[in-house]
Amino acid sequence: MNLHDVLNRAIENNRKWCSKGNVATYIPELSKANPCALGVSLCTWDGKIITAGDCDTPFTLQSISKICSLILALQDNGREKVFSKVGMEPTGDPFNSIVKLETLEPSPPLNPMINAGAIAVTSLIKGSDVDERLERLLTLIRAMADNNQIDVDWEVYTSERETGNRNRAMAYFLKDIGIIDGQVEEALDLYFKQCAIKITCQDLARMGLTLATQGIGPCGEIIIDPAIAKLAKTFMVTCGMYNASGEFAIRVGIPAKSGVSGSILAAVPHRMGIGVIGPSLDKKGNSIAGVHLLEELSREMKLSIF
Ligand code: DON
């Protein structure tokens, strides 16, 4: 069976899961997504894209952007500075949980993949203002995806900014305990914008390949320092699927990062990148059909890194 058939069959077999979850509604604009959609795109080692299912509808990066902001913050500041503001440990709590910020003594957020940690990381991105910082982040994402058209979805951004009170609360707490040094509102604004960057499955697949190749972009140029690409993939394994990362490692075994748009970015080291969209989410905020689909692909193509 060729790759096209493998993907088509995985879509057919797993679409049924869409009805078992729900589309995110806490960001009102995301509630407009089609809960029955399921699409997958795969970018092979030679840069070839293969797609199946509903791959043409764009969606927003949401938490997948946390990988890109971490890469840029590490490039801008180095490991020592970044990891003085955010930890390296999984939490076992939901992605937007506040509780450990205070109960573990006022201390850095546990990792860069939870919202509190991601906002702290975003505050480290260099640039004279939010526009310049966003442009630098877009430049990285466009290079990883080999797509200069990638931009912010302004409706989703506005929707996030108007309803992001929990993120706002965490950011002000981080300012209070000295984790955010600069302007809180600027860090939040960049965070809302990065989550609202609009992409497709094909973009995600190419971004996944860039990580899988240890930072070499689709056109052969070095986009990410190999040590940083390795670190990003390690966080994808330990915290990329939030408090379902352990189960995902066992069922799928591929470094991956999810977003509440129902998107998943997966990087199979030295083999391929995979992009998935399926807006219907499970209780922990991961694409319910998307996770099942990746489980099937991993089994069929022996993709687990373990
Ligand atoms: O800040 C938020 O809550 C969203 N913009 C992103 C969260 C997210 O994608 C979590 N994903 N599973």
Give Dmax over CA atoms of the chain in angstroms: 57
* 191 within 8 A of 180, measured Cβ to Cβ: no
* 242 within 8 A of 95, measured Cβ to Cβ: yes
DSSP string over the chain: --HHHHHHHHHHHHGGGGGGSB---SSGGGGGS-TT--EEEEEETTS-EEEEES-SS-EE-GGGHHHHHHHHHHHHH-HHHHHHHS-----SS-TT--HHHHHT-S---S-TTSHHHHHHHHTT---SSHHHHHHHHHHHHHHHHT-TT-EE-HHHHHHHHHH-HHHHHHHHHHHHTTS--S-HHHHHHHHHHHHTEEE-HHHHHHHHHHHHTTSB-TTS-B-S-HHHHHHHHHHHHHHTTGGGHHHHHHHT-S-EEEETTTEEEEEETTTEEEEEE---B-TTSSBHHHHHHHHHHHHHHT----
Task: Give the mutation target among 25, 31, 61, 62 for probing the ligand 1 site: most ligand atoms within 8 A of CB.
Answer: 62
Is it true that 3-59+200-299 and 63-195 share their CATH fold? yes
Each of the 306 residues of the chain gets a pLDDT tens digit; together they read: 799 999 999 999 999 999 999 999 999 999 999 999 999 999 999 999 999 999 988 999 999 999 999 999 999 999 999 999 999 988 877 788 877 777 777 689 999 999 999 999 999 999 999 999 999 999 999 999 999 999 999 999 999 999 999 999 999 999 999 999 999 999 999 999 999 999 999 999 999 999 999 999 877 889 999 999 999 999 999 999 988 999 999 999 999 999 999 999 999 999 999 999 999 999 999 999 999 999 999 999 999 999
Distance CA 10, CA 6 (A): 6
CATH topology of domain 63-195: Beta-lactamase (3.40.710)
Atom of ligand 1 nearest to the CA of 284: 12
CATH topology of domain 3-59+200-299: Beta-lactamase (3.40.710)
* Distances from the Cα of 115 to the Cα of 56, 94, 98, 149, 157, angstroms: 28, 9, 9, 27, 16
pLDDT, tens only, 134-157: 999 999 999 999 999 999 999 999
Atom of ligand 1 nearest to the CA of 164: 1
CA neighbor of 292 nearest in space, from 20, 2, 5: 20
Distance CA 139, CA 150 (A): 9
Ligand 1 touching residue 95 (CB < 6 A): yes
pTM given for the model: 0.96
Distance between Cα 62 and ligand 1 center (Å) = 5
Task: Give the mutation target among 31, 96, 261 for probing the ligand 1 site: most ligand atoms within 8 A of CB.
Answer: 96
Domain boundaries, the chain: 3-59+200-299, 63-195
Distance CA 153, CA 60 (A): 7
Distance between Cα 260 and ligand 1 center (Å) = 5
- Which residues have CB under 8 Å from 239's CB, separation 6+? 90, 91, 111, 112, 113, 114, 245
Considering 40, 41, 65, 66, which one is annotated as catalytic?
66
Atom 4 in ligand 1: which residue has the minimum CA distance? 62
Considering 191, 233, 245, 252, which one is annotated as catalytic?
191
- Which residues have CB under 8 Å from 277's CB, separation 6+? 37, 38, 39, 40, 54, 55, 57, 59, 201, 261, 262, 263, 264, 287, 290
pLDDT, tens only, 110-127: 999 999 999 999 999 999
